[in-house]
Structures are given as structure tokens and as C-alpha cells.
Amino acid sequence: MYLSKLKLKNFRNYKDLKLSLSSGINIFIGDNAQGKTNILESIYVLALTKSPRFGTNNQLIRYGFEEGIISGVLKDSKKMNELKVSLSKTGKKVSMNGKNISKISDYIFNMKVIMFGPEDLDLIKGSPQDRRNFMNIQISQLYAPYVHYLNEYNKILKNRNEYLKFMNLNQYTDPRYLEILDEKLIDRAVIIYKYRYEYFRFISSKIGVVFQKIVGEDGLYIKLENNLDLINYEEEEIRSKFSNKLKNHQKKEILQGTTLYGPHRDDFCFFLEENSMKIFASQGQQRMAIICFKLVEIELFHKILHTMPILLLDDIFSELDVKKRNQLVQYLPTNVQVIVTTTDLKNINKKLVEKGRVLIVKNGNVEEKA
Ligand SMILES: Nc1ncnc2c1ncn2[C@@H]1O[C@H](COP(=O)(O)OP(=O)(O)OP(=O)(O)O)[C@@H](O)[C@H]1O
Ligand SMILES: [Mg+2]
């Protein structure tokens, strides 16, 4: 799939922008703080209604304005859809082909994006929460039911935490009610794990080979980590281990007023030859490991969805040495829309520049290079 048109109204430093994009390579070039990342961010928000950067959606609206709008035309071999995200201080609205869609979870399954950017290092250096957010967004793009079950899980979790607090403060409570919540929580966890396990199994099976080809080092792998002592992620195992954890730690959970075990505490880690990359790897190795993770994701998206996601590359080449830049470009699939930013065309592999359409970004305006 590819985005053929993008329109921005009062989004970040763009007042009123209309752009046509090529289905191949699009290169946005410009000095610092001109609006390059803002373009990629707008495309990401058009797909997922959330920014990949920290902060609230309010910061996306141009200073001094009440509403910001992103819209675009998304094409693939079979269809063409017009997508629109309207952001306002009171919330966001989404529509497709002029029809409002009330559930965001229904909307976000339309447009697939994978972003490579400077914040990616947080996938190794950041908090488990950062990694969980990332994993949830990615898996939601791949498997339509995931986000539905995740939302349900989170609602039950919230009720359960409230009830644990209530049990801590009140003498007469209903243990059967907690049991019912436990059962519901476990039911959703089984489904959430089915998708998480599938996602990580694919990535783990391929990432080592890609890293070895691009970086020349052996022994990269990633691991999904859970606090239920799961090994095989099979339904029976999840049910019995999760249920035992909740039973055995009930007193502690009531005292703390929170659910201490379950998929909401999952994490994933990168290892190089058995060593945690968070602690032992150089910044360059960390960066390359994440790039390889995303390259494998492209393959997974294609396998599951039978379409290529749109790739958003935010200034990633400047951090890499020439050899790795070239290796990376060789690894990018050819039948995919790539939207890349840079401050200097020299940072981008020549082959990409030759094939690409170059657009110049200057103070919230975009012009085609003459
Ligand atoms: N809500 C907003 N309203 C207006 N302008 C904004 C808003 N948010 C950010 N900006 C402006 O957008 C500009 C930054 O844009 P962006 O991050 O896209 O730059 P960039 O071209 O990617 O720069 P760099 O090369 O440094 O990464 C800054 O000038 C900033 O002040
Ligand atoms: Mg930028």
C-alpha cells in the first residue's frame, strides 16, 4: 500500500499543505527544525491516530489553533481510501471516505506504517512501558482482534485493581467477585499471549540472520519476558500459571491494591551472545539491532497482511557508517513506499537518491527540487 496524497491543516508548523507522494522513494530534505519529522509524524498519526513521539496529541495542533487536520489518500492494488484524522483540544475524530468511524480500534487497521527514527533507541534503553506500548501498536496493526482483547483486558484490570483497594479497606468483601475478575482476566490473557507469542516467534527466528548479514556479528536474539514463568505460551500453561500466581499472591496484591502479575507487566529484551544489549552493547550495535528488528517486521507485515507497510525513515542514515548505510538499503524491499528525511543528500545512499523524488522542506513549506 502507499499514500498518494497528504494534506495537513494546522498540524505542527504546517498551516496548509498539500502534497502528492510517489509510490516509491520520497526524500524530504531540509535544515534542522524546518518540519521534516513533522511530515513523517503526520503520516504516522494518519495511520495510528497517535504520535510516535512523547507528549499529548494537543501538541500536534499548530500553536494558537483549536483544530488540526491530517488527511490522505491511501492506495493499494485493489482499493483507494481517503483517511482523515481531526485533532482538537477535546479529542480526536477519524473518518474514512467521508464517513465517521466511532471506534478508533476499527480505524487503525486500514493503514500500515513502520517508523525508523531516533526515538527507536528507547526500545532498548527505555522503560518496559515504552516497549509494551510499541509492541501493542505493532501487534494491533497485524492482527485486527488484538486491540479489542487488549482493551477488554485493561478494563478488567482496572476493575480488579479498584476491587483490590476496596478489599484492603473493607472488612466485608466478596472473594467470589475477585475470582470472577480473575477468570475474565485470564481469558483475555490467553488471547493476548497467542498474538504476542506469534509476533515474537517470527521476529526471533529471523533477526539473528539479518543482523549477521548487515553487521557481521553472530548471536543476536530477542526474548519476550513475562512474570508468570511461561515457557511455551500454551493455553493450559497460561491458565494454570496465571491463576496460581493470582492465588498465591492475593494477600500481597490486596495490600498493594494492584495486580502484580500478568501480560501488563511483560517486557522484551535484546541479547547479543547471551548478554543483555541494554547493558553491554554499544550505541551503534543497539541502533543496528533495532533497525534489524524493524526490517524483520516488514517481512512479517507482508506475510500476515499480504501488503507492504509504508516505511517512514527519520534521519536514520546520518548515524550509520557508509558500509551499514549501503547494507541497509540493499535490505529494503523494492516494492515498498519509503518516506525518508535528511539534512543532507550525501547521507543517503546514491541508489536511493537516483530512484527517489526529492522534496525540499523549508519553514513549514515543501517544494519539489528543481
Ligand atoms: N504545535 C506546533 N505548532 C507550530 N510549530 C510547531 C509545533 N510543534 C513543533 N513546531 C515546530 O516545528 C519545528 C520542528 O519541526 P521538525 O521536528 O519536523 O524539524 P526537522 O526538520 O525534523 O528538524 P531536525 O533536522 O532538527 O530533526 C520547530 O520549528 C518547532 O517549533
Ligand atoms: Mg527531525
Is a pLDDT exceeding 70 seen at residue 55?
A: no
Calpha distance 56→201 (Å, rounded): 32
Same domain, 80 and 146: no
Cell output for 12: 505542527
Output DSSP code: residue 328: H
- Asked whether residue 246 falls in the same domain as residue 314, the answer is no
Band (54; pLDDT cuts 50, 70, 90): low
The pLDDT tens digits for 154-204 are 999 999 999 999 999 998 889 899 999 999 999 999 999 999 999 999 999
Q: Are residues 175 and 280 in the same domain?
A: yes
Q: And the C-alpha cell for 245?
A: 500466581
Give yes or no for a contact between 207 and 284, defined as CB atoms under 8 angstroms apart.
no
Q: Is 260 helix (H, G, I), strand (E, B) or coil?
A: coil
Residues 142 and 279 in one domain: yes
The answer on 190 and 212 residing in a single domain is yes
Q: How far apart are CA 17 and CA 14, in angstroms?
A: 6
Q: Ligand 1 pocket, 12 CB below 6 A?
A: yes
- 232 lies in some domain: yes
Binned at pLDDT 50, 70 and 90, residue 47 comes out as very high
Residue 172 beta carbon below 6 angstroms from any ligand 1 atom: no
Question: Atom 27 in ligand 1: which residue has the minimum CA distance?
Answer: 32
Ligand nearest the Cα of residue 11 is: 1
**Nearest Cα to 332, choosing from 310, 307, 359, 306?**
310
Please count the other Cβ atoms lying within 10 Å of the Cβ belonging to residue 54. 9
Task: Give the pLDDT of residue 82.
Answer: 98
Q: How many CB atoms lie within 10 A of CB 149?
A: 18
Q: Are residues 260 and 343 in the same domain?
A: no
In tens, the pLDDT along 286-331 reads 999 999 999 999 999 999 999 999 999 999 988 888 889 888 988 9
Tell whether 135 and 75 lie within a shared domain.
Answer: no
Contact yes or no for 3/308 (Cβ under 8 A):
no
Number of compact structural domains in the chain: 2
Which percentage of the chain shows pLDDT scores above 70? 99
Q: Take residue 92 and report the three cell numbers written for it.
A: 480526536
| d(CA 37, ligand 2 centre) in Å | 4
Give the span between the Cα atoms of 216 and 105, in whole angstroms. Answer: 40
Model-level pTM? Answer: 0.96
User: In testing the pocket of ligand 1, which one of 9, 11, 12, 27 has its CB within 8 Å of the most ligand atoms?
Assistant: 12
Domain with 49, as residue range(s), is 1-112+307-370
Among 290, 319, 335, give the residue marking a domain's end: 290
Asked which of 6-15, 115-124, 252-261 is least confident by mean pLDDT, the reply is 115-124
CB 340 within 8 A of CB 352: yes
Task: Assess if residue 298 is contained within a domain.
Answer: no
Same domain, 155 and 260: yes
For residue range 227-236, list pLDDT tens digits in order.
999 999 999 9
Q: Is the CB of 15 under 6 A from ligand 1?
A: no
Whether residues 276 and 221 share a domain: the answer is yes
The helix (H) or strand (E) run that includes residue 191 is helix 175-215
Residue type, 316: I
Please report how many Cα atoms fall inside a 13 Å half-sphere around the Cα of residue 45, on the Cβ side.
Answer: 32
Asked if residue 175 and residue 27 are part of one domain, the reply reads no
Cβ atoms within 10 Å of 274's Cβ, excluding its own: 8
Is the domain of 272 the same as that of 129? yes
- 16: CATH: 3.40.50.300
In a domain, 281, yes or no: yes
Query: Could you tell me the end-to-end alpha-carbon distance of the chain, in angstroms, rounded to an integer?
Result: 28
62 lines ligand 1 (CB under 6 A): yes
CA of 27 to the centre of ligand 1 (A): 17
Ligand 1 pocket member 63 (CB < 6 A): yes
Tell me, yes or no, whether 224 lies in a domain: yes
